[in-house]
A = this chain, B = another copy of it.
Amino acid sequence: MNIAIIGATGYGGVEVLRFLQHHPYVTNCFVYSSSQDGTLLSDSFPHIGEKDDWLLQKIDIEQIASTCDVVFFATPPGVSSELAPLLIERGVKVIDLSGDFRLKDRTVYEKWYKRRTAQPIYLQQAIYGLTEWNREQIKNAELLSNPGCYPTATLLGLAPLVRNRLVEEDSIIVDAKSGVSGAGRQASLNTHFSEVNENLKIYKVNAHQHIPEIEQMLTDWNEHIRPITFSTHLVPMTRGIMATIYAKAKNDVPVNHLIDLYKTSYASSPFVRIRKAGQFPATKEVYGSNYCDIGVTYDERTGRITVVSVIDNLVKGAAGQAIQNLNVMMGWDETSGLLFAPMYP
């Protein structure tokens, strides 16, 4: 099994490589870059070391199609919508970590992303890779659209409530917080150390492009779901997302009942771990791993349920889930190459 990674010089790309190096069924990884072809990956990322180094190659569709079985795109917006169709036509499977194929509705995409969408035929063909809830479809995917980091944490946290219609459909508020690596490796004032360190910011209030992605899945699960309030904050840390989720319970619900529901919902999902009553996960408890840890409680005073869902944004929120989807697509054990404990501290 040969794998290509297009956009290997970003954080998502190197994280895919970190895991694939230990993957039992992947023989070779080839790395491609539009801007740095001809250089070694270790020129950009010295942590890789000479022994495990890769040569960055020019993106040549024919060459990739003749060499590789699966292609990962870890590219900026607009790249995979151009190139993925060319690979699919040539029989290569594609796993896209960008947002290009996540929204089925072009007008929604163009409103939130402020750019042109991919071809509708591929939008329809793309399978949304929220592994825990789409396994059957993923098995047959040719074009896999890997979920965004915020949607992954949010949807895994909300699924049991929304699918079981336990909460008021117009009551969902998600207060999400992320480390800075989610913004990628491109330098900018917003990610400049002196601006971010010892600071906490809110950004894209009511305007984050992950809002329609979350709502698309929620309304798939329950068509009565109303628009959600979703806020994103930049936390002075490199990795980690926490989604703190609030929703009004339709009826009083004992905490243990909630926890049982969550445990049952994820009983066959090895990467989702549910905390005991009264306990909530911190982002570091999934650091560097593919886990999504969830705590949940109910407050009788207010009638609201609070769900806390944490992931490593670069792993379960990007590279790790992409490999999890690869495993499902290939019929391999879903955990292949991914069973690493979180690094703590």
Contact = CB atoms under 8 A, between A and B. Distances in A.
A340 B23 CA distance: 12
B185 A193 contact: no
Contacts of A226: 302
A306 B206 contact: yes
Contact of A285 (B46, B192, B286, B344): B46
Interface stretch (A55-63, A232-240, A326-334): A232-240
A322 to B, nearest CB: 17
Contacts of A192: 185, 187, 191-193
A121 interface: no
Contacts of A301: 206, 227
Interface stretch (A81-89, A92-100, A173-181): A173-181
A29 interface: no
A244 B236 contact: no
Contact of A341 (B47, B173, B197, B341): B47
Contacts of A188: 187
A297 interface: yes
Nearest to A175: B175
Interface string A193-233: 11111111111011000000000000000000011110101
A280 B197 contact: no
A189 B11 CA distance: 13
A304 interface: yes
Contact of A236 (B203, B236, B342): B236
Contacts of A198: 179, 197-198, 237-240, 284, 287
Contacts of A343: 18, 288, 343
Contact of A194 (B173, B175, B275, B345): B345
Nearest to A180: B193
Given A188-B187, A198-B198, A244-B175, A279 B46 contact: yes
A47 B287 contact: yes
A202 B233 contact: no
A197 B287 CA distance: 12
B18 A201 contact: no
A280 B340 contact: no
Interface string A303-345: 0101010100000000000000000000000000001111111
A45 interface: yes
Contacts of A21: 341
A31 to B, nearest CB: 14
B341 A48 contact: yes
Contacts of A170: 302
